[in-house]
A = this chain, B = another copy of it.
Amino acid sequence: MADAERKLTDGRTRIEFETDPSRYRHWKLKVDGDIATLLMDVDEKGALFEGYELKLNSYDLGVDIELADAIERIRFEHPQVRVILLRSGKPRVFCAGANIRMLAGSTHAHKVNFCKFTNETRNGLEDASTASDLKTICVINGTAAGGGYELALAADHIMLVDDGSSAVSLPELPLLAVLPGTGGLTRVTDKRKVRRDLADVFCTTEEGVKGKRAVDWRLVDEVVPGSKLDATVTQRAKEFAARSRRPAGGKGIKLTPLKRTGTATGAEYSTLSVALADRLATITVRGPEALPPGSIEAMVEQGAQFWPLRLARELDNAILDLRVNELDTAAVIFKSSGDPEQVIAYDRFLDANRDHWLAREIRALWKRVLKRVDLTSRTLVALIEPGSCFAGTLAELVFATDRSYMLIGTREGDNKPPAALMLADVNFGAYPMSNGLSRLASRFLANPADLDRAKSERGKLLDAEAASTLGLVTFALDDIDWNDEVRVFLEERASFSPDGLTGLEANLRFGGPETMESKIFARLTAWQNWIFQRPNAVGEEGALRRYGSGQKPVYDTKRV
């Protein structure tokens, strides 16, 4: 198995998740009134790693980072946009999916992280549809294979040109002995509700399905003759825009560059610090330094500097950076510092302005960032100490962790106020997990009365004993026990099998119901991870390794 890490191109030493349209190499974003066009035109020479070229609009993580950025910018910088047209800038090919040579030469960890991020990006497109009524129409003029079709599946409406050759396909299994890794199977069965036997035929047919059959089988929404394509696309875009309730005419805000300084032992952002030591990453989130602005106009004026937005973007960046650049990190520890009342003041400000487009986008961004935390395969821990501000939105970080420790009282010689948690309306529905429930509802599956009890304590400063009695934290410890207990726990955690922990946490974090999204991350991803290790895919004679070599793969024929 190719588990030596590849070299990044252009002398990079880390994978950077921040970009902006002026730096895009693979996408063109054009905004025209309420329609944005996202043109995929991948630069063959613009790969993230050395050793492969991005032919036929195939993609790697670098291409997807730009796509994720473009979607965020449409949401924040162009609130008047109601429809995204997703199109290819290349002739006869929409998108060939994830680059096969990239996959064949990647470490197992990179493949898994790559699929996770691309999944989150496609979920982001669907979230734009449900949370912001920003609809995506995908126009397939050519072939949409594998990840190419999976990208289309994230759209609200799929149009396929009826030219006798344009087709959609999921050829991963016949061609590469792996599964579609970006939600394809689940979206085929659960979103498009393709009949299971037809889905079986589709997913085992290399060349895919085209024309009327693609509509009959529910794989696309319509086929359009090439001669009528542009007119029909324009018409559909107008129809979708007319139905959208996204507010027209709002003036966007600029997503300015993040303030991030890498240090020898971590990173400094304007609202948080990341400290790396002993296979632990400590993220200390800082509360706001000032009260919320006096009006919604003043919030728009602050733009990307508005504290909740700044923190969400910085936290998102920090989590992504840890995921792919700090694989050795066993646990992420969340701490905070600041005034809980001020944090709550921002939550109340956003509650009061919930119908404003920017307030809605900020809340939706927090929802996605918190889901990103849930899906991060590191042990997550909250240490709730004197002077912390885990209130409202920030309390969600506590509820996202595998365990939380809260200090009782104060520390000797320390004049910070005792640790306190504070709940707000936002903890009871604003930020559903991928299973569709709030973190507190997931926590209190056994007894809804516990949820009601917590709800009745909104707005109160809850000390360690109160928080523990309400079941909001795992352990409340006094100063005498704190250091030893926390140290022993973290050392023990770091001594366990990292793989075992990934599987354990993926199961314990998401009790209760499942949604299409949770199925993608749990069921499909786990199977894909399994297959991504099997010799039939990644061994010397496996399909992924032999693809394009002219040699046929050799399979162990045992069914497991």
Q: List the interface of chain A (C-beta within 8 A of B).
A: 108-109, 112-113, 172-174, 177-179, 185-186, 188-190, 192-201, 203-204, 218, 279, 327-330, 377-378, 401-404, 442-447, 471, 474, 492-494, 496-509, 511-514, 519, 522-524, 526-531, 533-534, 536-537, 543, 553, 555-560
Q: Within the assembled complex, what's the spacing in Å between the Cα atoms of A404 and B203?
A: 16
Q: Does B537 contact A500, Cβ atoms closer than 8 Å?
A: yes
Q: Within the assembled complex, what's the spacing in Å between the Cα atoms of A378 and B179?
A: 16
Partner of A557 from the list B173, B330, B531 (CB cut-off 8 Å) is: B330
Q: Within the assembled complex, what's the spacing in Å between the Cα atoms of A5 and B558?
A: 12
**Which of chain B's residues have a CB closer than 8 A to the CB of A536?**
497-500
Q: Can you pick out 8 interface pairs between chain A and chain B where the beta carbons lie within 8 Å of each other?
A: A108-B560, A185-B507, A193-B511, A498-B536, A499-B534, A500-B543, A503-B531, A529-B530
**Which of chain B's residues have a CB closer than 8 A to the CB of A499?**
177, 530-531, 534, 536-537, 560
Q: Within the assembled complex, what's the spacing in Å between the Cα atoms of A177 and B500?
A: 5
| Chain B residue at smallest Cβ distance from A529 | B530
**Which of chain B's residues have a CB closer than 8 A to the CB of A443?**
195-197
| Chain B residue at smallest Cβ distance from A492 | B204
Q: Does A514 contact B513, Cβ atoms closer than 8 Å?
A: yes
Q: Within the assembled complex, what's the spacing in Å between the Cα atoms of A446 and B189?
A: 9
**Which of chain B's residues have a CB closer than 8 A to the CB of A504?**
173, 179, 185, 200, 203-204
Q: Does B177 contact A497, Cβ atoms closer than 8 Å?
A: yes
Q: Does A531 contact B500, Cβ atoms closer than 8 Å?
A: yes
Q: Does A474 contact B197, Cβ atoms closer than 8 Å?
A: yes
Indicate the member of A401, A444, A508, A513 with the most B CB atoms within 10 Å. Answer: A508
Q: Does B193 contact A445, Cβ atoms closer than 8 Å?
A: yes
Q: Within the assembled complex, what's the spacing in Å between the Cα atoms of A555 and B23?
A: 40
Task: Known pairs A327-B558, A499-B530, A523-B523; list 18 more (Cβ under 8 Å).
Answer: A177-B500, A178-B500, A179-B507, A189-B508, A189-B512, A193-B447, A195-B443, A200-B403, A204-B492, A279-B557, A377-B559, A496-B555, A497-B555, A498-B536, A498-B557, A498-B559, A501-B559, A507-B524
